[in-house]
Chains A and B, each alone.
Chain A
Amino acid sequence: MFLRTVLSRLLTTLVTLFGVAVVVFVLVRVAPGNPIAMMLPPGASEDDIAQLTALYGFDKSLVEQFFIWIGGVVQGDFGTSITLRQPVADLVLSRLPATLELSFFALLIAVAIGGVAAVIGARRRGSPTEAAVDLTSGAVLSIPDFLWGLLFVLLFGVLWPVLSISGRLDPRLEFDFLTNFVAIEGLLRGRFDVAGSAFSHMLMPALSLALPLAALIAQLLKQNLKEVLIQDYTTLPRVRGFSETQVILRDAMRNAALPTLTLVGVQFTFLIGGTVIVERLFAYGGLGNMAIDAVINRDLPLIQGIVLLFAALFVAINLLVDLSYTLLNPRLRHG
């Protein structure tokens, strides 16, 4: 049964990705502005224009263009960027690590802040402390990442300038990277100055992305913890003399965490979606920043590639969350 669930979910995932491909393909092609004309110097001959148009396949019919593109994508060929004149696959893969590092760092921060707030709220349930957790998380939740980012730019970039407000790394650092995972590679190869610089550049954008999710985790996990804490099985450890905090961390957390986990998975895709504007705000060299440039420059193959990659990332995360939920929840295993 489990295998059948996996297969049917995989199939719907592929259908979704195909749908995304169709939508983005049609969208970028109804856009006004001829990308070829933007590449050539003024006064280029008709011949040059025709040649370049043929090179990028824009002389064929839309349906033909679509299937040529999809045929390539299936083989890992995403076409060539018009403005950067490099294979889209290479460009996109070179930027992906930056976005992944930022997203996972943000996720880590969100889980840490949200988790601590939830435990404190559940520990002091019914007290003004819990009301304060509720009030703060409610307010934090309704402010989106873009506004947090702007606020941090003002606070830690200008009024109290302790953090860099743009880029990914201090340009003065000299280091030969083997990968584009700057922070992780710095850590693993013992160059803590590099890793430190990378993390301090990521801190503000990551915090902007993390805060709304942290508030959501705080609310939901606290609610789940409170529900678990009135169950009978948490009485025994209390009687045995464990403190309330110990009961929460040792006994209640295990059962309260599962529903929270599902939500975090889905919300993580929203967080990744937020990187697009947050990267722009902090001039952080990730996929999202590249995507906005690609739209402004009418770089059709690059836009298509980036959108498809984001979509693949989203559906993969959703798939993993669904499957792990099925695996972790015994009640659903024989559905």
Chain B
Amino acid sequence: MADVSLQTTPRVRSGRRNLRLWLPLAWITTLGLAALFAPLIAPHDPLYQDLFLERLPPFFMSGTEPGYWLGTDSLGRDVLSRVIYGTRIALCVSLIAATATCLVGSTLGLLAGYFGGWWDRVISRLIEIWMAFPPVLFAVLLVAVMGTGLTSVIVAIALIDWTRFARVIRAETMVQAQMDYVDSAQIGGARRLTTLVSEILPNVLPSIVALLMLEMGIAVIVEAILSFVNLSLSSDVATWGSMIAEGRNAIHFAWWVLLFPLIALFLTVLSFSQLGEGLKQRFDPVLQ
């Protein structure tokens, strides 16, 4: 019995691990294709209002209209087309905002963890102050200050969430800086900044990649939250967040306006986090 379990465990594990990578990748690729080819796929103009066709239910209910698979919202706009066009903003925000957040946070984390001293004191203090803000309130406040729009949303996410990277990367850099290979690079005459970039960075990269994936999911959520309090983008762009806000308001008349973007958000957030976990396990030499 013991032998059997010893043999099967690794195989089951690697199979599950692959599934963990491929399922999320498939969903995100679908989103990417939907974003790229939205005008070709979407059956209707996402902004076109048809007041004769308002609040049509989705295909599995009675009283539907052919061609409106997921129904229409309170202004008669096609829900499916809006979900498809919404992938554009969702992916755009997740890619740009998460990358910006990652760059800011990882840089500060590496500097604090490796150079220590004043670098560490100042950056750690900043992290502590930042962590004392409720993040959603911080985001709402920042966007109110900068004015609504895609750029504000992205800048706000980077300005708030850099601590997530900085904390983890700082701690990991501190551990790596104690290792022998760092000393030998120093003895070999490498400059400290060179050591940081060429020796330590590759070793903390798996964590950075995992956090980056996680942050992509979070960025989509933050955009949705800001849309929900009416602070994200103007209403002439279809976003999942604005659909959710409308769906919440019209919940007793047209709940499907909330349901479908919510499903898209669930799958996207879940995909990014599973992808992050899966990639981390794949890159981590200790876990292999």
- A residues with a Cβ closer than 8 A to B are 12, 15-17, 19-20, 23-24, 27-28, 30-32, 138-139, 141-144, 146-147, 150-151, 153-154, 157-159, 165, 269, 272-277, 280-281, 288, 291-292, 295-296, 298, 303, 306-307, 310-311, 314-315
Given contacts A154-B251, A310-B137, A314-B131, 15 further A-B contacts (CB under 8 A): A12-B128, A27-B141, A27-B142, A30-B145, A138-B274, A144-B269, A146-B225, A147-B221, A151-B262, A153-B248, A158-B252, A275-B134, A280-B228, A295-B141, A314-B132
Does B286 touch A at the CB level, under 8 Å? Answer: no
Closest-CB distance, A80 to chain B (whole angstroms): 20
8 A Cβ contacts from B213-261 to A = 214, 217-218, 221, 224-225, 228-230, 244, 248, 251-252, 255, 258-259
Interface pair B140/A17, CB less than 8 Å apart: no
Known contacts: A32-B147, A143-B266, A277-B228. The answer to whether A291 contacts B128 by CB under 8 A is: no
CB-defined contacts of A154 to chain B, threshold 8 Å: 251, 255, 258-259, 262
Interface pair B144/A153, CB less than 8 Å apart: no
Interface majority SS on B: helix, strand, loop or mixed? helix
- Can you offer 29 A-B residue contacts whose CB atoms are under 8 A? A15-B125, A16-B128, A17-B132, A20-B129, A20-B132, A20-B133, A27-B145, A31-B144, A138-B274, A143-B270, A144-B218, A147-B266, A150-B244, A153-B248, A153-B251, A154-B262, A273-B134, A273-B136, A274-B136, A275-B134, A288-B136, A291-B137, A292-B229, A303-B141, A307-B137, A307-B141, A310-B133, A310-B134, A310-B137
Does B265 touch A at the CB level, under 8 Å? Answer: yes
Interface pair B221/A144, CB less than 8 Å apart: yes
Does B277 touch A at the CB level, under 8 Å? Answer: yes
- In the complex, which residue of chain A has the Cβ closest to the Cβ of B147? A32
Count residues of B near A (Cβ-Cβ below 8 Å).
41
CB-defined contacts of A144 to chain B, threshold 8 Å: 218, 221, 269
CA distance A28 to B229 in the complex (A): 18
Interface pair A292/B140, CB less than 8 Å apart: yes
Interface string of B119-153 (1 = CB under 8 A from A): 00000011011011111110011101101000000
Interface pair B258/A276, CB less than 8 Å apart: no
CA distance A306 to B218 in the complex (A): 24
- In the complex, which residue of chain B has the Cβ closest to the Cβ of A308? B132
Known contacts: A23-B129, A142-B274, A151-B262. The answer to whether A296 contacts B144 by CB under 8 A is: yes
CB-defined contacts of A141 to chain B, threshold 8 Å: 273
Closest-CB distance, B240 to chain A (whole angstroms): 11
